[in-house]
Structure 1
Amino acid sequence: MTAILVYRDKLVPKSEIGFLRRQYSAFSRLEPHWVGCSTTAEVGELTPSPIVLGRAGPFGTLDRALFKQCARVPEAPSLRPLGARLIHAQFGRGGALALPLARALRIPLVVTYHGGDAHKNKHYEKRLLPTIYQRRLEALKAQASLFICVSDSVREKLIERGFPAAKLTVVNIGIDLDPAMATPKEPPYVFFAGRFVEKKGIPILIDAARILRERGVGVGVVLAGDGPMLSDMKGRAAGLDGVEFLGWQSQAATRHRMRGASLVVVPSITASGGDAEGLPTVAMEAMSAAVPVVATDAAGLTGVVESGRNALVVPAGDPAALADAIQAIVTDPGRRAALGAAGRALAEERLSAAVQSRRLEDRLIDVIGAFQEA
């Protein structure tokens, strides 16, 4: 197999293990080797042999500081013998950090943008002391061979940011297909799972729940997750029957609640600082379990789903439209079943980790081939 390097500055935050692993889960021709500047206790869940740049001991701290701030590539004896043919960096900042390493090894660089690294304005606003990413951004645009975007919305935003359209391609991050199918419970409820932050649009969901209650539609709302807006959202829902806040839930508990829901709702908006969804995993997991999805047009699903066929998509920030879509599903079991089945078919055809991982491997092999010919 051909060796490649996968760069993540910190190997690896626990919250990222799942989606990072899935990107490479079906590789059969390329062998990923993980490289970065530090490790966490969880790195063994991703790789048994991470490569940490810099010397061991206190001099390693200096090596890594010079690497990040001055683009001075430290010695890493285990790197060159690998004969790696490409670096695949995770996140925009990771691409900026990996750029001098790609130059030193004389191999192409590919960068995956996941959402916030494209959408958040703070990464691109001019400041007195530019960040590493800002200092290297123009070089990154010029010298990286390819930018992988996890959704159409990420690609569109990067074009707005001045990235060359010819270097941008969309490869979704797939999910592990759920072997268990939806078993809607009574009384019916809609399910939300995610961080309680602005871009998730939770106030819109609560307002939609209030509209449904006023219409006499008997459906509960169950919200799983934690975050800085949790307390405010509990206050917003005060006095509204049928709204349940679960707090943080394990993956198993989340999937159990999801399978019992009449639908999963993704009420995302574009946050005040520009942050927006990349491609919400919860929507793909719901479709994998044949649970219908109602999402807004800010949820990153453009180009993935077809509204009315395998999901319902409504305008972001519109609680009445969200309530209409929820009502249309919970009051029509036939439509609920049809949307769920179509979502499952889409997941099998396009959204599985195996399908998307093979697509990613194909793109990386294409880059290696083009680099050799240049």
Structure 2
Amino acid sequence: MTRTLAVVLKGYPRLSETFIAQELLGLERRGLSLRLVSLRHPTDTKTHPVHAEIAAPVTYLPEYLHDDPARMLRAWRTVRGWPRYAETRRLWLRDLRRDPTRNRVRRWGQALVLAAEMPSDVEAVYVHFLHTPGSVGRYAARLLGLPLSISAHARDIWTIPDWEKAEKLADTRWTVTCTASGAAHLDGLAPGRVRLLYHGFDLDRFPAPDPVPQSARDGTDAADPVRLLAVGRAVPKKGFDLLLRALAALPPAAHWRLVHIGGGKERDGLKALAAELGLADRIDWQGARDQAEVLEAYRAADLFVLPCRVDADGDRDGLPNVLMEAQSQGLACLSTRLSGIPELIVEDDTGALVEPEDIAALTAVLAALIADPARRAALGAAGMARVRSAFDNRAGLDRLAALFLEDDEPAPP
């Protein structure tokens, strides 16, 4: 039985990782004591209300080794004489030969600091994301002789080599992941180590609107255009450039307005593309918003659009929480047949799906849904019923807490 966990995170807190914050709070409410460890300081200027409710203290590791060389040296001096140091260093050197990058060196340094400064009451290491945090957590757990568990998500599953995934999975007591497609891929690398566990979402923070907003907008009134909403970081895998091109291809008689919520490195490029396509005056780029503001945006919109795709480096979404949030408010959703999205959206029943990268299909479905408020209402109602019955996060949190509180399986050697 494990009651005190060190939880290793890439960055904390992050607006785009509400699902992690909800999980942390849920684990605390189920009796676990957490010690949060972040590989980097937050870059968001806002937080969600859930972050203020989490009691766990946060330790920030040096993001770059030159940031705090004295801390690094103290850590190395502390751990170099430990019984598992030589074995763990050999493991890291083997990884470094296959991945000779600065990032791999940084992971080792962060792991030394994590191990040296680990609170004495910690009984296990739990990591969100299989890639960089997974390496830091794995090396530190090895040094300390603590059991390791990992929660894998999306980018971390699809953008690191199979040898690395297989070896990390083999070192875990168990690994959970949030889509059936991801679970099948990882289980093929480490049979029996991986469990499917949907994050779900917190229904209490997204109460059903009363009444559910109904809109008669059909795109024929220029003074009252159909309200489109897209929420997500401006990064290639979200497909917002595809959305802009699809919107530009809509018939001139279709009147719409798009609100985008989210930060991201591609935001300026998307604004430039919108201007190039003649759409600049029809899009409201709102930037990052907190949970209450996003909830208000869901309730004001007529159609939610998220045309996810596979990025050039293999990165992709798993099961975007924003789709669940939008559906929880009775908002019709249009997305793509990718990863875990079809596990949430039952096509032509609880939402609409097109193939990734298919701009023509995206344009056609957008045009049809903009013109058909009754269809949007039917999809929204069915989506709300499904997400509230099948994706309540309380069941998943109960299962996850039970893995820690009841699983006495020894850690792999």
Shift of 1:339: 1.4
| Distance in 2, Cα, partners of 1:49 & 1:153 | 34
Matched, 1:169 2:195: yes
Aligned pairs for 1:291-302 within 5 A: 291-298=331-338, 300-302=340-342
Alignment of 1:143-222 (within 5 A): 143-158=171-186, 163-177=189-203, 178-181=206-209, 182-183=212-213, 186-214=224-252, 216-222=253-259
Residues of 2 paired with 1:302 and 1:53: CA distance? 38
What is the Cα deviation at residue 293 of structure 1? 0.9
1:128 corresponds in structure 2 to: none
Task: Return the offset for 1:219.
Answer: 2.8
Aligned residue type for 2:286: G
Deviations 1:69-88 (A, max 9, x none): 27657445732x45x3x432
Equivalent residue number for residue 371 of structure 2: 331
Are the equivalent residues in 2 in contact too, given 1:268–1:299 (CA < 8 A)?
A: no
Q: Is 2:149 the partner of 1:110?
A: yes
Q: In 2, are the aligned partners of 1:219 and 1:242 still within 8 Å (CA)?
A: no
Contact 2:259 2:286 in 1 (8 A): no
Provide the C-alpha distance between the structure 2 equivalents of 1:52 and 1:231, rounded to a whole number of angstroms: 30
**Residue 173 of structure 2 contacts residue 409 of structure 2 at CA under 8 Å; is this kept in 1?**
no
Q: Report the Cα distance in structure 1 between the residues aligned to 2:378 and 2:283, rounded to whole angstroms.
A: 27
SS of aligned partner of 2:331: coil
- Opposite residue 177 of structure 2, the aligned amino acid is C
Distance in 2 of aligned mates of 1:203 and 1:77? 44
Quick one: structure 1 residues 217 and 362, their matched pair in 2 at CA, closer, same or farther if it must change by over 3 Å?
farther
Mapping of 1:1-374 within 5 angstroms? 2-8=2-8, 12-15=12-15, 18-27=18-27, 29-36=30-37, 40=41, 46-50=54-58, 60-64=71-75, 68-69=107-108, 74-76=115-117, 78-79=119-120, 81=121, 84=123, 86-92=124-130, 93-103=132-142, 106-120=145-159, 123-124=160-161, 138-158=166-186, 163-177=189-203, 178-181=206-209, 182-183=212-213, 186-214=224-252, 216-238=253-275, 239-240=278-279, 243-251=282-290, 252-298=292-338, 300-365=340-405, 368-371=407-410
Matches of 2:74 and 2:197, distance apart in 1: 34
Q: Which moved further from structure 2: 139-148 or 64-73?
A: 64-73
2:94 maps to which residue?
none
Taking a change above 3 Å as real, the CA distance of residues 118 and 237 of structure 1, as seen in their structure-2 partners, is same
Answer with 65-74 or 232-241: which moved more.
65-74
Alpha carbons of structure 1 residues 337 and 107: separation in structure 2 relative to 1, 3 Å = same
Q: Distance in 2 between matches of 1:64 and 1:349?
A: 48
Structure 2: runs of 5 or more not aligned: 63-67, 80-106, 216-223
Q: How many Å separate the matches in 2 of 1:52 and 1:208?
A: 42
Q: How many residues align?
A: 354
The offset of 1:244, in angstroms, is 0.7
Instruction: Name the counterpart of 1:131.
Output: none
Unaligned runs of 5+ in 1: 126-133
Distance apart, 1:22 and its partner CA? 1.0
Give SS of 1:317's match.
Answer: coil
Identity %: 24
Does structure 2 conserve the Cα–Cα contact (< 8 Å) formed by 1:3 and 1:31? Answer: yes
SS of 1:237's partner is helix
Query: What does the per-residue CA deviation read over 1:269-312, in whole Å, with 9 as the maximum and x for residues that have no partner?
Result: 11111111122121111011111111011364132221122121
User: Hey, what's the Cα distance between the residues in 1 that align with 2:288 and 2:233?
Assistant: 11
Q: Cα RMSD between the aligned structures?
A: 3.5
Aligned to 2:259, the other structure's residue is in SS state strand
**CA distance 1:29–1:124, shift in 2 (3 Å):** same
| Contact kept? 2:173, 2:193, Cα under 8 Å | yes
Equivalence for 1:129? none
Amino acid in structure 2 at the alignment position of 1:229? E
8 A contact 2:9–2:129 mirrored in 1? no
- 2:219 alignment partner in structure 1: none
Specify the code of the residue in structure 2 equivalent to 1:164. A
Aligned CA distance change for structure 1 residues 65 and 189 (closer, same or farther; 3 Å)? farther
CA contact (8 A) 1:25 1:353 kept: no
Q: Secondary structure at the match of 1:247?
A: strand
Q: For 2:259 and 2:39, locate their aligned partners in 1 and report how far apart those are by CA, in whole Å.
A: 38
Pairwise CA distance, 1:90: 1.2
SS at match of 1:245: strand
Contact 1:196–1:229, Cα closer than 8 Å, also in 2:
yes
Amino acid at match of 1:22: Q
Per-residue displacement from partner, 1:212-251 (whole Å, max 9, x unpaired)? 235x333333223333333332333332386313230422
Shift of 1:168: 1.9
Q: Which moved more, 1:25-34 or 1:311-320?
A: 25-34
Deviation at 1:347, TM superposition (A): 2.2
- 1:121-163, Cα deviation, whole Å (9 max, x unpaired): xx339xxxxxxxx8x655423221222112234334545xx62
Aligned AA for 1:49? P
